[in-house]
Amino acid sequence: MGMLYGGQVQTMMPKLHSTNFPGMELIRPMYLIREDDIKLWRDVNGLKFLRCACRFTENNEVPEETEWTPGGEPESKRLAVKLLIKEMKKSNPFVESNIFKSVENVNLSTVIAYKKDGVVHRFTDEY
């Protein structure tokens, strides 16, 4: 999402220190569990997820028959990306894991610029 719509490469860390509440941490215990596996577990156990007020939960399901069509605009950007990845999986079954691995395999000597602690470092700084 960040790359395609925000022009950035970043992830939501599995454990975060709160910026609003000192001493509080956010822990995402299902960070490495695939969404499809979570949905399968939900269905096997006859559970229903609670909906929150955010736009993501309004329509976060991608029906099996839903296809990505260029020019066709899904209801949300998140759904558009899910459908694009679903289409890409037809020719590259590893696309999801490759996207995830790409943010673990960053080679800073091959990127034009990066930010660390709010400071921008550009390749020209050491070129």
Give the DSSP letter string of 47-98. Answer: --PPP-SSGGGGS----TT----TT---SSHHHHHHHHHHHHTTT-TTHHHH
Number of domains composing the chain: 1
Q: Is residue 6 part of a domain?
A: yes
Q: Is residue 16 part of a domain?
A: yes
Q: Are 83 and 74 in contact (CB under 8 A)?
A: yes
Instruction: Please list the pLDDT of the chain residue by residue as tens digits (127 residues).
Output: 888 888 888 888 899 998 889 999 999 888 889 888 999 999 999 998 877 655 555 555 555 555 656 566 667 888 888 899 999 999 999 999 999 899 889 998 899 999 999 999 999 998 8
Q: How confident is the model at residue 6, as a pLDDT? A: 87
Q: How confident is the model at residue 61, as a pLDDT? A: 53
Map tokens 């969404």 to a residue: 35
Domain with 87 in it: 2-104
Q: Is residue 113 part of a domain?
A: no
Q: For the whole prediction, is pTM greater than 0.75? A: no
